[in-house]
Amino acid sequence: MHDYEYMDTPGKLLTPDIVNLLSAIHECKGRQELYIEAQTDVLTALLNIAKVQSTKASNKIEGIFTSDERLEALVMEKAEPRNRSEEEIAGYREVLATIHESHEYIPVSTNNILQLHRDLYSFSGSNSGGKFKNSDNVIAESGKDGAQKVRFVPVPAFQTAEAMERLCDRFRAVADSGKYDALLLVPMFILDFLCIHPFNDGNGRMSRLLTLLLLYRSGYIVGKYISIEMLVEKTKETYYEALRESSAGWHDNENDYEPFVRYYLGIILKAYKEFQERVEHLQYRGLSKAKRVKAVFDKKMGRLTKADIAAYCPDISETTIERTLKELLDAGYIEKVGKARATGYIKK
């Protein structure tokens, strides 16, 4: 049985790479309050974009889809779910909102995790929400030939409640002691949660929601404005590889948390850097909207989509962005690449 040894293990993770990542994140966090003092209307727009991106990306990892139009309507509470996928999307929206608004009042405990899981299925007819798994499960992966193979066998169902209690107790005790940086403890907790795999369904989505909860409670709130779930979805192959490496030998307490911790710290740092870029783009707010869209191409290299531009200019309407793109195309300043949903634009 895994020991959840949080008293000494985090100290062994302080490799030069991880120390550098921690230092960079701390520096970003130190500027966080200054960023949040920027124009509130833009930060609200960034928050709404991140809500949509987070809900889309976290569900997409699990193969849960709907159209972009329906997803935005669901997240903004302008529509009711029409099918099972949309029920699960609406449930994710509910839990994400709870964490955004009330993280200070949600300490890490099995009861709170069960309640969040219950709310994840609040729009579903399933009765599994808010209950630990009632049968053993496995984590499988598909080979190149499509054949399924077992990658990891989680904690048995009959040991799950006890395992979750021990995990939460150990995490809370060390986190409250202040002995280690929370940035080391959060990825360790998430890895252990995934190795327990406590639910019949929703483990992946719950792991990402719990990541936000633990980060927010430790003062790292960048996930409100930049979708950490989207950054994970974009690098999911690396994510799964880090998960494989760090879960090997887990049952025998021989696993190495370092690959998973290093991956997660890289994602958090990337989120902070993107937030900084978008806030710094506010310096262009004195320009016309068309010139602000043009400034995105001057600042960013490579292919940009309409969604990329909207993320940097969240207070500019899609209609204005489309009109400006046409003007820039007609002027020969940019060119279009790709077709349909793959359409992007590059500076000539």
**Can you give the pLDDT of all 348 residues of the chain as single tens digits?**
899 999 999 999 999 999 999 999 999 988 777 676 656 667 887 888 899 999 999 999 999 989 989 999 999 999 999 999 999 999 999 999 999 999 999 999 999 999 999 999 999 988 889 999 999 999 987 766 777 788 899 999 999 999 999 999 999 999 999 999 999 999 999 999 999 999 999 999 999 999 999 999 999 999 999 999 999 999 999 999 999 999 999 999 999 999 999 999 999 999 999 998 887 777 677 788 899 999 999 988 899 999 889 888 877 888 999 999 999 999 999 999 998 878 999 998
The domain covering 13-280 belongs, at the CATH homologous superfamily level, to: Fido-like domain (1.10.3290.10)
Which residues is 141 bridged to in the sheet? Answer: 149
What is the fold of 288-347?
Arc Repressor Mutant, subunit A (1.10.10)
CA dist 296 and 77 (Å) reads 30
CA dist 163 and 189 (Å) reads 12
Start and end residues for every CATH 1.10.3290.10 domain found in the chain = 13-280
Which residues is 140 bridged to in the sheet? Answer: 150
CA dist 48 and 226 (Å) reads 10
Query: Dihedrals φ, ψ of 302, to 5°?
Result: 85, -165
pTM: 0.90
Start and end residues for every CATH 1.10.10.10 domain found in the chain = 288-347
Q: Are 343 and 305 in contact (CB under 8 A)?
A: yes
What six digits make up the tokens of 274? 């993107």
Q: Helix (H, G, I), strand (E, B), or coil: what is residue 177?
A: helix
